[in-house]
Amino acid sequence: MDDLWICSLGVVAYAEALERQLEVRAARQADAIPDTLLLLEHPPVYTYGRRSGAEELPAAARALDGEPIDVVAVDRGGRVTYHGPGQLVGYPIVRIGDVVGHLRTVEGAIIAALAREGIAATGGCPRPTGVWVRERKIASLGVHVSRRVSTHGFAVNADNDLAPFGWIVPCGLPEVEMTSVALETGRAGTLPALRASVAAELARALGRRAVALTPGELAGVLGATVG
């Protein structure tokens, strides 16, 4: 069984995380490292994909706790979404076959992880891509593929503030209602357990052996790879 490296990075600025993704992707494309999952949180930021329209960010200048929320254009699929502390963001940088199959695999892993929390969720089909709890969306997905290796990935609402979703048109869906693990379960502090569950379920879904790396260990490997 091949490995899936799993590295929890903590809270990382979006630009820094994107740079790290590109480093990992280059190493994976060169077969210098195995498939790798980066797990992290972002400071408040709106990101919008290739199909997003300006009308989806009508209040992008809103502030959270007195600080303006950054807006970043990215090369992933999908539309505009919000990331913030308390939300589990995952970037599976893995070699894939087809994009739709990859998205369904990630959805399935998130659904299985949510089931561990007592939440019955479903995948996007026939709804738009993502993970849903009845009519409410709890996780968003969007990826980019280059030379058969994926970047970007998923965001699962755990303990994060949902208000910033109301200031945009999240995922291009004007009527969508967002939810979170905390809201569905009534429990606080759900992120650590969810992080562990998602990592385990994604490794299982990909048929990989989960191997944990510290940020320092990953940086050391990448330095040796790109140096």
pTM of the model: 0.91
Distance CA(118)–CA(138), nearest Å, equals: 14
Across the chain, mean pLDDT equals 89
Token pair for 93? 């940088």
Q: Where are the domains of the chain?
A: 3-226
pLDDT at 103: 93
pLDDT at 168: 81
Contact 67, 13 (CB under 8 A): no
Q: What is the CA radius of gyration of the chain?
A: 17
pLDDT in tens, 45-55: 998 866 666 56
Higher pLDDT, 9 or 57: 9
Token pair for 82? 């919000």
Query: 3-226: what CATH class?
Result: alpha beta
Consecutive H or E run containing 141: strand 136-146
For residues 169-189, average pLDDT: 86
Among 21-35, 46-60, 96-110, name the one with the lowest average pLDDT: 46-60
* pLDDT surpasses 80 at 56: no
Distance CA(156)–CA(179), nearest Å, equals: 9
pLDDT in tens, 5-28: 999 999 999 999 999 999 999 999
pLDDT at 73: 77
pLDDT at 106: 97
Catalytic residue numbers, as ranges: 171
**DSSP bridge partners of 157:** 87
Distance CA(25)–CA(2), nearest Å, equals: 17
* pLDDT surpasses 80 at 163: yes
